[in-house]
Amino acid sequence: MKLRIAELEEAYSVMSRICAGGGASLETENLRGQGSMGGDSFALTGVDWTGWKGRIDLEHVTVAGHSFGGVTAIDAGRRPDQFPWAKQIILYDIWRFALQIHPRLNSVQMHLHLYSKPLSPPEKAIQGQISATPLLCVNSEAFMYWNENYQAPVEICNEVQEAGSPSWLLTIRRTAHLTQTDLSLIFRNATSELLKRTASPARAIDLSVAASLEFLLRMLPTALSDQLADFFQGRGILAAEIDHHASSDRQPDPKNTAMRLQIKKEVLIRLKGGVRKQQDANRETLLEPPSDEIWTHVKPREGER
């Protein structure tokens, strides 16, 4: 976790230098040029750094992460003195084994866990409440069925709301953990067969992005949200009502929990789903009802954002 936090600090430092007009100096310091390990022939050469000067908002930064990256984002939200610029947080399928929830203390202690064994003693855990940072959590359906993991974002969302800020927890249906990554686009057939996801990977990512943009439309200052509204007006995802009767039709056997879904009558479902995937990929509105694509588990109370 210390390494992840250090990476956040370094990334912000680099973006600050670029915004201040120091991009050219970064180009000379870059260690990933041709001939370097992990480098390429282009690296940062040929970039017009003057076009970036003064163009980055460094005061209203969104910290987002997938899986363990989501834990890093939460940790950043817990450190308002260290990261005062982290104004909103987005979590994609947060990985619960890096969090330990303590309901009695109403706090989340940060642990590094591997198969439930702590890598560091509990007394060294970072303690304290999450700051009042607006939060969006987007889960895959496979992770939703992992009850122990599912409780983590629920607790975090509730804690954020108790601190006076809005939070949402959504599940994109028919998806697995890797659906929120580009692997599902690159290896469509493999991830579909192995993970038993039946949602179009392009559609699933589109819904994650759309939910995130709607969140930013609500959370960013007016000057920034107006710029965003010039090309995205929202799809009503965050306005959907809480679904208290989420189906368990695709809940897998316990041995496959979190790894894959279960598909009943798989051949028939896949034959019907092929046509639907093509339709889903380019749809700019939610299905009616929205619960056919997204389940809403937590949202702000009436009258809040």
Q: With 90 as the cut, is the pLDDT of residue 138 above it?
A: yes
Q: Residues 113-134: pLDDT tens digits?
A: 322 333 333 333 344 556 689 9
- Please report the pLDDT score of residue 129 as a whole number: 58
- Please report the pLDDT score of residue 154 as a whole number: 93
CA distances from 152 to 74, 79, 167, 190 (A): 11, 19, 13, 29
- Please report the pLDDT score of residue 284 as a whole number: 58
Q: Rounding to the nearest 10 degrees, give the CA dihedral for residues 293, 244, 71, 188.
A: -20
The candidate with the shortest Cα–Cα distance to 237, out of 179, 181, 278, 292, is 292
* Torsion sign across C-alpha atoms 284, 290, 293, 297: positive
- Please report the pLDDT score of residue 305 as a whole number: 64
Which of 39-48, 54-63, 72-81, 206-215 shows the lowest mean pLDDT across its residues? 39-48
Q: With 80 as the cut, is the pLDDT of residue 2 above it?
A: yes
Q: Residues 240-276: pLDDT tens digits?
A: 999 887 778 889 988 998 899 988 877 776 676 654 5
Identify which has the larger pLDDT, 287 or 127. Answer: 287
Q: Residues 53-81: pLDDT tens digits?
A: 999 999 999 999 999 999 999 989 889 99
Task: Specify the DSSP class assigned to residue 34.
Answer: T
- Please report the pLDDT score of residue 158 as a whole number: 92
Model pTM score: 0.84
3-state helix, strand, coil in the chain (%, to 5): 45, 15, 40
Mean pLDDT of 36-51: 80
Q: With 90 as the cut, is the pLDDT of residue 90 above it?
A: yes
Q: With 70 as the cut, is the pLDDT of residue 23 above it?
A: yes
- Answer whether CATH 3.40.50 is correct for domain 2-18+58-244+262-298: yes
